[in-house]
Structure 1
Amino acid sequence: MKRAAVFFADGFEEVEALTVVDYLRRADIHVDMISTIDNKICRGAHDIDVAMDKLMDETSDDYDAYIFPGGSDNAASMRQNKKLLDKVKKVFNEDKLVCAICASPTVLYEAGILVGKKITSYPGVFKNIEGGFDYLEEKVVVDGNLITSRGPALTVYFALEIIQALEGEEKRQQIENQILLAMM
């Protein structure tokens, strides 16, 4: 069974985080919700408290995917977490899947893994950061073991791309059918 880690801090974007967790679990991917703060309850950007499965110190590097939901406060907290940034860089360099949506591609930038990569993000989050990457205004961008996406309304496509990367096109199609994506 594939394993994914979804990282949280206070201020996470609830739709981006919980949709990904839900859809990956529907695809029979083991998902751990991991707090990057010293609390097993993280408060979302819209005041929804969510219980985490683990604290970051309780994890190892045995996941197939490392996923970062957005939320500006969430991303700001994670950009200050050297231990997390070191972990991201390490697993990315081991060719593990690293995924970020909305403001959280800035976490990956801070970890130093976006150089030469094609990415996207929430519009404007990189306005004060100069280059090193190829920014595309697309729903979801895949570049090797890196998946990035723009924001809450596109979370469905972000999650499906992660499912496809981990479990293949057939599993993605199965989940698309289950969630009635064709009706959109």
Structure 2
Amino acid sequence: MTVHVYVAPGFEEVELITIVDVLRRADIDTVMVSLTAGTQIQGAHQISVHADAPFHQVAGQTPELIVLPGGGPGTQALLAHIDLHARLQAQISAGKRVAAICAAPMVLAKIGLLQDKNACCFPGCENTLLDGGANITAYNVVTDGLITTSRGAGTAGLFALELVALLKNEAIAKEVGRTMLYL
């Protein structure tokens, strides 16, 4: 089982690192995929990470899950990346999961994946989700079918644990959460 976490310039560092860390603690093969030509990407708060692979290198792969971290500038880069949009649509068409946190659920709304879905997002992004046909909820983490959304950096741990529960099981998610003092 493989998860791709897409990394765009200006990503929210807490979200990216928390998600990747929790998934890897659960022994889920997690690949950070750069949306740039290189693999060194700087986050919204000037923290750089080295992605595992550039976007073109994973073309044609269908992981169990694609995750989009948010962050204002990072989400703008995600919104502008047309090839990513096609990949997300193919992911859902293949019956595989997609997840987005913070402002990144706006990408899912823009390409029609949140039509008639319950979802949440960072405060202030709701209108884009509503325009995409989503039903906005007040929950910190929402899974509706193959799509999971969350609100922001402060909910990244719970979001990542939900992804572990969906990909593996609730017991493993709880064990990882306990060892990290989330639960």
TM range (shorter): over 0.9
Paired residue for 1:169? 170
Paired residue for 1:53? 52
2: distance between equivalents of 1:126 and 1:36? 25
- The offset of 1:33, in angstroms, is 0.3
2: distance between equivalents of 1:111 and 1:94? 16
Q: Deviations over 1:35-80 (max 9, x none)?
A: 1111211100000010010001000323101000000111111111
- The offset of 1:98, in angstroms, is 0.4
Q: Normalising by the residue count of structure 1, what TM-score does the alignment of the two structures yield?
A: 0.95
1:27 partnered with 2:26: yes
Task: Name the aligned partner's letter for residue 20 of structure 1.
Answer: I
1:97 partnered with 2:58: no
Q: Normalising by the residue count of structure 2, what TM-score does the alignment of the two structures yield?
A: 0.95
Task: Name the aligned partner's letter for residue 68 of structure 1.
Answer: L
Count of residue pairs brought into register by the alignment = 181
* Unaligned runs of at least 5 residues, structure 2: none
Paired residue for 1:156? 157
RMSD between superposed Cα atoms in Å: 1.1
Q: Is 58-67 or 19-28 further displaced after alignment?
A: 58-67
Task: Name the aligned partner's letter for residue 56 of structure 2.
Answer: D
Paired residue for 1:75? 75
Paired residue for 1:142? 143
Task: Name the aligned partner's letter for residue 4 of structure 1.
Answer: V
Q: Deviations over 1:76-135 (max 9, x none)?
A: 111111110000011012221100000000111122211111100001113356251101
SS at match of 1:66: strand
Paired residue for 2:120? 120
Task: Name the aligned partner's letter for residue 113 of structure 2.
Answer: I
Paired residues of 1:61 and 1:91 also in contact (CA < 8 A): no
* Unaligned runs of at least 5 residues, structure 1: none
Task: Name the aligned partner's letter for residue 109 of structure 2.
Answer: Y
Task: Name the aligned partner's letter for residue 167 of structure 2.
Answer: L
Task: Name the aligned partner's letter for residue 43 of structure 1.
Answer: Q
SS at match of 2:149: strand
Task: Name the aligned partner's letter for residue 66 of structure 2.
Answer: Y
- The offset of 1:137, in angstroms, is 1.4
